[in-house]
């Protein structure tokens, strides 16, 4: 179980505001890392007819959130934040490798690697990478995945664990709805109804993720894995995954 220390992220009001703005920057669709190019199997679900309207999209997203993010990315973020706080490079590398092993298709693995590399390049241009000159500073693993680099960025910005998890979940939801608005006959009003439907689920997902033990982790998403695998040979596509 990973519960955030009560005093983590507390400080002067200006520091809290800067941390919040740093999180908003990190989860913004305008962040130039190319997240808009990936649908995480959703485009294939459209093509197969598994998702065809607002109601079925909501069901799909709730399933991915409950059996995917809640059991995988979100609890991993909490563990990675712990490792960054403790300057534990070995744990950071271990969890990064564990998450890479959970990617069940070439597309999902490539997405994590490419977004991680893009975020690393951006952090380098902003001078926000870990201090490689210090022997005591934690280090990013070679080829670190997106979740690991996201955790480092939140740590460097002084964002609390809980806000980090909520921000990651929000960015995932916003990207999935953007995919649906491009590839389905789904209007922006429908997308906002889904936001209202899923906002409480995001909070519940973070609550559950922070309570999971290590042996309870791991995504259970056979449908998404199948959709992603089929997408690799889909005749016509808008997205890279």
What are the sequence ranges of the domains in the chain? Answer: 38-231
pLDDT computed for residue 8 by the predictor = 44
> What mean pLDDT do residues 222-239 have?
71
Contacts for 3-6: CB closer than 8 Å, 24+ residues apart: 3/210, 3/211, 4/78, 4/160, 4/161, 4/162, 4/210
CATH code 1.10.4190.10 for 38-231: yes
Residue 157 has φ and ψ, to the nearest 5°, of: -85, -5
The b/e string for 15-45 (b: 16+ C-beta within 10 A; e otherwise) is: ebeebbebbeebbeeebebebeebbbbbbbb
Q: Of 101, 75, 93, which Cα lies nearest the Cα of 140?
A: 93
Kindly report the average pLDDT of the chain as a whole number: 86
CB 149 within 8 A of CB 123: yes
pLDDT class for 241, splitting at 50, 70, 90? very low
203 vs 162: CA distance, rounded Å: 9
**Residue 230 pLDDT class (50, 70, 90 cuts):** confident
Percent of the chain clearing pLDDT 70 (strictly above) = 87
89 burial (CB, 10 Å; 0-12 / 13-18 / 19+) is: middle
From the list 71, 64, 45, 62, the residue with the least C-alpha distance to 195 is 62
- pLDDT tens-digit readout, 25-69: 888 888 887 777 767 778 888 888 899 999 999 999 999 999 999
The helix/strand/coil state of 220 is: coil
Q: What is the pLDDT of residues 109-162, one digit of tens each?
A: 988 899 999 999 999 999 888 876 565 667 888 899 999 999 999 999 999 999
Could you tell me the pTM of the whole model?
0.89
Tell me how far apart the alpha carbons of residues 198 and 54 are, in angstroms, rounded to a whole number.
Answer: 12
Q: Does the pLDDT at position 226 exceed 80?
A: yes
CA distance 50 to 229: 15
pLDDT value at position 108?
87
Mean pLDDT of 4-29: 73
Taking the C-alpha atoms of residue 90 and residue 98, their distance in angstroms, rounded to an integer, is 12
Tell me the C-alpha distance between 153 and 157, whole Å.
6
């Amino acid at each position: 179980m990973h519960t955030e220390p009560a005093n983590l992220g507390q400080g002067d009001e200006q520091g809290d505001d800067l941390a919040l703005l740093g999180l908003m920057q990190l989860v913004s669709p305008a962040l130039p890392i190319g997240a808009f190019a990936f649908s995480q199997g959703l485009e294939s679900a459209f093509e197969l007819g598994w998702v065809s309207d607002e109601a079925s999209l909501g069901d799909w997203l709730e399933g991915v959130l409950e059996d995917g993010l809640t059991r995988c990315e979100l609890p991993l973020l909490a563990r990675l934040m712990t490792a960054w706080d403790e300057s534990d490079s070995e744990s950071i590398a271990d969890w990064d490798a564990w998450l890479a092993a959970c990617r069940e298709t070439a597309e999902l693995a490539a997405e994590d690697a490419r977004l991680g590399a893009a975020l690393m390049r951006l952090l380098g241009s902003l001078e926000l990478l870990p201090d490689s000159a210090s022997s005591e500073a934690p280090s990013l693993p070679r080829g670190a995945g997106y979740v690991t680099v996201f955790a480092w960025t939140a740590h460097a910005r002084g964002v609390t664990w809980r806000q980090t998890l909520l921000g990651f979940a929000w960015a995932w939801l916003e990207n999935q709805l953007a995919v649906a608005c491009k590839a389905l006959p789904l209007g922006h009003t429908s997308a906002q109804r889904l936001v209202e439907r899923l906002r409480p689920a995001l909070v519940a997902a973070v609550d559950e993720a922070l309570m999971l033990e290590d042996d309870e982790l791991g995504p259970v998403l056979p449908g998404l894995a199948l959709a992603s695998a089929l997408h690799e040979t889909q005749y016509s596509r808008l997205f890279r995954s």
